[in-house]
Structure 1
């Protein structure tokens, strides 16, 4: 018998078969090894024969670059796709991978920074493939795994994929991994990018696609040995920016003024014509306060007020993504709607310019959630949300000078996190020495030392570490 072709087997069996074929005696003899090969080969052929056949509507910017994207994925282990929100990359990339035959040897793993996005993106891709959710396309988030054995595409949060490295060191369940919204630079994303950099030489059959909505693409490319970068334009119409700063000088008073300012801005936008409004707020409490103010407003009484945050049930979520067009909708969202999700039909945006951000206090030795001003990049992302269906208007509830003084980009989470927690997590995931780990942006050695010191004081690590 000629040497079996391991590319025609399931990715999870390849490492075993590679070793077993070199030394069959150790694994029960050549007949037993060939039986294992045939079983894996047949399962691979069965999956390949049943691969979904994607259709493209042709109306998304990503469709204009289909051939370029296919060639880049086919010819490179890592591909960076840089495209504005609304370009269609999130929903179309898994379909492009299926068309290339990916998903037959293992799953196409597709990560999202948030649970809400993982669930809604999975439902959207399943719908486009004409499949029920949990069949060809599944999703896994904390406390909820809706993925069948027959699935080809698996949506999940980046934290879920990272946790899977504990039981599947080489991520052999996957033949393709898409890291979406990598520009968000959460700790999980930074961990994954470092982990994948170490893993790729050991998994030459694994394809990795990284998407970013901002100009961070060059940094990702260098991290992966100058991987090719493809740019996809966003489908955007012009957006007018109106500045309506709150009058209060005292920040605490200004915060109580926000619901009132949102009502005023919504009234102003409603006078401009028909169209749904998306409002960005820092958190669930602020969303509830704004919703109450809008419902009490005589002019907004007939509008449909829809909250959008992480703990939303699937039924409430469907209301947001299935507009009936009868009433003007005002969607009140956290920054989950900034990049991860495209809310359909939005013509206007009201931006409070605030987000809830986790920061480590070295003095108090705790991580705290603070309401902070967002970066210029985040503000542009928010404004771009109303230029999807037609020319839009964004009302910023802060001054233009305030915008110009903000930092250009949001700090990566690793720069503002307690490194004691990072060190513990790396130890649990067996990721090796923090200083040697290939982070996209290495933390300062002093902070690493401080982190170890905190763990020593707590008795969480030995002195030898």
Structure 2
């Protein structure tokens, strides 16, 4: 690996994690911002005895692209060379790529094409607490595959996962907990019973955050509609302070997503959906404003059709969001 590496909590635990992975499987729990997503897959790659490949699974396309770029920078290589990504409708890989950062759907298609994952030596499932049918299916297929390929390494990672059931499913594999945050986080709560509209509350709290912290402000909102309303409410605040005001959500074109993450030298207010909740660390964020809401896809019992429902976030999601600061 490149010598250019941040001093993160995961660093001192890497030898133990890599050694445990040689036994076939390991579950790692580590808080947000600890470096698990960028450092552990690369360390496993460096430990492989052959030219085997590593698959790093991410729940979202934005996270897959950003994580691949960050790992490539840390290793001092070009994206698309040793490290690349594959997501729906987009990829940056080449003949020398050995670390593939990809979404769960891409991995399922890979397994459908080749159930043995020939040439793949390790699979890392990141943010496993974001449970879905797809990620559960991938893990189940990997458990079956390890019966044929006992040397295949499987690493399951999360910040908020209860590791016991997963470790038992993987044959009683080791569980390694990485304690400690990179920075302490102070959590403040809005008083209950507030009747102001969401955009009014967000403007008030973002203004407060800009005054008491010196870095970027990351705002979590439930959807694109709320992002648009808050963008209008905060436009004057951003102009007056000379700050960049940028949206960040999954359907943004890749170039606009990259712009939201790029360092422009100016202070930023980032209005994001839950795409920024996991794996994606925006450097320089010193305050998080969390609306505490998310839109989830649920099946309407009356019609049998899926619809988006506005729900409070779980405690695990709230902890993840706080960890982005």
Give the secondary structure class of the aligned counterpart of 2:55.
Answer: strand
Indicate which of 306, 320, 324 corresponds to 1:381.
320
Q: Deviations over 1:277-310 (max 9, x none)?
A: 1100111221122112110448755221111111
Matched, 1:70 2:18: yes
Q: 1:274 to 1:145 in 2, by over 3 A?
A: closer
Matched, 1:156 2:102: yes
User: Within 5 Å, which residues of 2 pair with 1:129-148?
Assistant: 129-148=75-94
Partner of 1:170: 116
User: Within 5 Å, which residues of 2 pair with 1:228-377?
Assistant: 228-245=174-191, 247=193, 257-297=197-237, 302-325=242-265, 327-377=266-316
Q: 1:276 to 1:210 in 2, by over 3 A?
A: same
Residue 103 of structure 1 and its aligned partner are, at CA, apart by 6.4
Structure 1 portions without partners, runs of 5+: 1-52, 387-465
Partner of 2:67: 121
Partner of 2:27: 80
Name the CA distance, whole Å, in 2 between partners of 1:160 and 1:288: 31
Name the CA distance, whole Å, in 1 between partners of 2:192 and 2:201: 7
Q: 1:273 to 1:165 in 2, by over 3 A?
A: closer
Partner of 2:47: 100
Q: Deviations over 1:71-115 (max 9, x none)?
A: 1112x111111111111111111221122125613x211110000
Matched, 1:209 2:180: no
Residue 367 of structure 1 and its aligned partner are, at CA, apart by 1.4
Name the CA distance, whole Å, in 2 between partners of 1:165 and 1:156: 13
Q: Scaled by the length of structure 1, what TM-score is found?
A: 0.66
Residue 360 of structure 1 and its aligned partner are, at CA, apart by 1.5
Name the CA distance, whole Å, in 1 between partners of 2:44 and 2:201: 46
Q: Scaled by the length of structure 2, what TM-score is found?
A: 0.93
Task: Using the TM superposition, name which of 308-317 and 279-288 deviates more.
Answer: 308-317
Give the secondary structure class of the aligned counterpart of 2:186.
Answer: strand
Name the CA distance, whole Å, in 1 between partners of 2:202 and 2:242: 16
Residue 122 of structure 1 and its aligned partner are, at CA, apart by 0.6
Structure 2 portions without partners, runs of 5+: none
Alignment length (residue pairs):
325
Greater Rg, structure 1 or structure 2? 1
Name the CA distance, whole Å, in 2 between partners of 1:292 and 1:72: 50
